[in-house]
Amino acid sequence: MTPLKNDTFLRALQRQPVDHTPLWLMRQAGRYLPEYCATRARAGSFLSLCKTPSLATEVTLQPLARYDLDAAILFSDILTVPDAMGLGLYFAEGEGPKFERPLRQEWEIRDLQAPDPHDHLGYVMDAVSEIRRALDGSVPLIGFSGSPFTLSCYMVEGEGSDTYARVKTLMYSRPDLMHHILDVTTRAVIDYLNAQIEAGAQAVMVFDSWGGMLSQAAYLEFSLPYMARIMAGLTRERDGRTVPRIVFTKGGGLWLDRIADCGADAVGLDWTIEIGEARQRVGDRVALQGNMDPSILLTTPEAVATEARRILASYGHGNGHVFNLGHGISQFTPPENVAVLVETVRAESRQYHAS
Give the one residue of 102, 122, 160, 225 binding ligand CP3; rule: CB under 6 A. Answer: 160
E strands in 192-346 = 203-208, 237-238, 241-242, 245-249, 266-268, 287-292, 321-325
Contact between 75 and ligand CP3 by CB under 6 A: the answer reads yes
Active site residue 36: no
**Residue 97 lies near ligand CP3 (rule: CB under 6 A):** yes
Looking at residue 52, the DSSP 8-state letter turns out to be -
The pairing of beta strand 287-292 with beta strand 266-268: parallel
Cα–Cα distance between 103 and 113 in angstroms, integer? 13
CB 137 within 8 A of CB 197: no
Asked if 328 interacts with ligand CP3 (CB under 6 A), we say yes
What residues between 171 and 210 interact with ligand CP3 by CB under 6 A? Answer: 207, 209
Number of residues that bind ligand CP3 (CB under 6 A): 21
Segment 223 to 252, residues that bind ligand CP3, using CB under 6 A: 250
**Residues within window 13-52 making contact with ligand CP3, judged by CB under 6 A:** 26-31, 40, 46
Q: Other C-beta atoms within 10 Å of 225: how many?
A: 17
Residue 133 annotated in active site: no
Q: Identify the helix (H) or strand (E) that includes residue 90.
A: strand 89-91
* Of the candidate residues 73, 184, 273, 312, the single one contacting ligand CP3 (CB under 6 A): 73
Active site residue 172: no
The contacts of residue 298 (CB under 8 Å, 6+ apart) are 330, 332, 333, 334, 337
Cα–Cα distance for residue pair 229/248, rounded to 1 Å:
15
Q: How far is the CB of 252 from ligand CP3 (least distance, A)?
A: 12
CA-CA-CA-CA dihedral for 244, 245, 248, 254, to nearest 10: -90
* Interaction between residue 77 and ligand CP3 (CB under 6 A): yes
Give the shortest CB-353-to-ligand CP3 separation in angstroms: 26
Of 154, 192, 219, 315, catalytic: 154
Residue 159 or 239: which CB sits closer to ligand CP3? 159
Active-site residue, 40 included: yes
Catalytic residue among 11, 32, 67, 77: 77
The Cα 1–Cα 166 span in angstroms is 47
Tell me which residues touch ligand CP3 (CB under 6 A). 26-31, 40, 46, 73, 75, 77-79, 96-97, 144, 160, 207, 209, 250, 328
Active site residues: 27, 31, 40, 77, 154
